[in-house]
Structure 1
């Protein structure tokens, strides 16, 4: 399964405040990180891409289908928000099965899809547990399972490794990388370590528009190292880029 995602000239306003001002972007298979300073419009862009907000102008195209027109597109999208709200009384298996049903997974293969998703997130041992009994890291693994259970064409993850211990974080990264081999995964995170380890490319949103996009490796410019500032070369290069684009963290 391959996929191309196109964001075409998206505009969105909250009253008189413009959050997106003609954002355009093309995302191919692999992990792409969405970066930008606070208030740049990252959350709004994600909401428009998953159908939680309707842009005043522009389109989001996934494999040739316009998903910005208000029509249901759950089968195309997997979305795991930051700090997802999961029903405490639900059992893990039932919750992931419900996510599969919502996304159009056929009943005949639903059980296998649920088992596969839980297995990938090392959460099969949690299947009979109620959500309210889980730790934060366990809940995050279950949330990731709900996002991949229907094998979507585009997976959007907002801070996917928050709450995971180092071992769980490594496993989540492995799952995300494997999932991204043949389809786009959009990663929004403040953890630059995740970007450095996961992302093939980055897009930087400043003032409501994508003002930089390219391979992650190109963002770490030679002048960003050895200048005495704390942080990794990637972090310093990213900071320099934001300053050059007129943004601020």
Structure 2
């Protein structure tokens, strides 16, 4: 199995090939309009590191993720820094719910995902091995997915997002439904794989924000109402992070897609 090796700042060596330097992802006046609601305009730059995206249900997080992933074009404005490099997608996406084939093994499933993402056949085995290692699933590589625990399945879903060594990671509620031990294991996996990447995590869990975030962005009714570090946000409410976030969600009952 070929391990990931650091080549130089901003580059990773996977399957013997250096990946392009991680670029920033930029939203420039991005706006998504619906019949009765709108998101934005939003201008943000995401650089390597972990950004936690927080907001009430319906605040626009899912729409923003779709725009960042390149699967939904903004009505106005632009998104830069996502696409394909050398035929391989630059974005890895972990949805909140991911249907996994119960009878396939972890290795078989990830081999298929690597093919979908455009990883060349000659590099696919090493890419799958690396993803299994990152998700701490090496010893489960050849067992059927149906035999995995809930925490292991969530880590397999994470391996799905990183198997092609993307420059950008979008993780939607990555610890949802996990018990405290599984949640900590998942956080360890995320921290281990996020180095040198633009990583954006959507979460409702304050503990996730504290444990993972280099930066936190709070959305309310489709607009950014806070963009900064966790410490500064906590200080606005006497070191009570949950209270500080809640105080910013003044339109929490106004749902967006």
Could you tell me which residue of structure 1 aligns to residue 76 of structure 2? 57
On the 8 A contact 2:221/2:252 being kept in 1, the answer is no
Offset at residue 74 of structure 1 (A): 5.6
Q: CA RMSD in A?
A: 2.3
Query: Where does 1:1-249 land on structure 2 (aligned, <5 Å)?
Result: 1=10, 2-14=22-34, 16-62=35-81, 67=83, 75-221=89-235, 223-225=237-239, 233-242=240-249, 246-248=250-252
Gaps of 5+ in 1: 226-232
On the 8 A contact 2:134/2:192 being kept in 1, the answer is no
For 2:123 and 2:93, how far apart are their aligned partners in 1?
21
For 1:119 and 1:166, how far apart are their aligned partners in 2?
22
On the 8 A contact 1:203/1:210 being kept in 2, the answer is yes
SS class of match (1:98): helix
Offset at residue 135 of structure 1 (A): 2.8
On the 8 A contact 2:25/2:46 being kept in 1, the answer is yes
Q: Give the alignment's TM-score, normalised by structure 1.
A: 0.85
SS class of match (1:25): strand
For 2:171 and 2:87, how far apart are their aligned partners in 1?
17
On the 8 A contact 2:58/2:252 being kept in 1, the answer is no
Gaps of 5+ in 2: 1-9, 11-21
Offset at residue 106 of structure 1 (A): 2.3
Could you tell me which residue of structure 1 aligns to residue 6 of structure 2? none
- What is the number of residues matched between the two proteins? 233
Residue deviations 1:101-159, cap 9 Å, x none?
A: 22222222211111111112121222222233333222111100111111101000011
For 2:182 and 2:226, how far apart are their aligned partners in 1?
31
SS class of match (1:129): coil
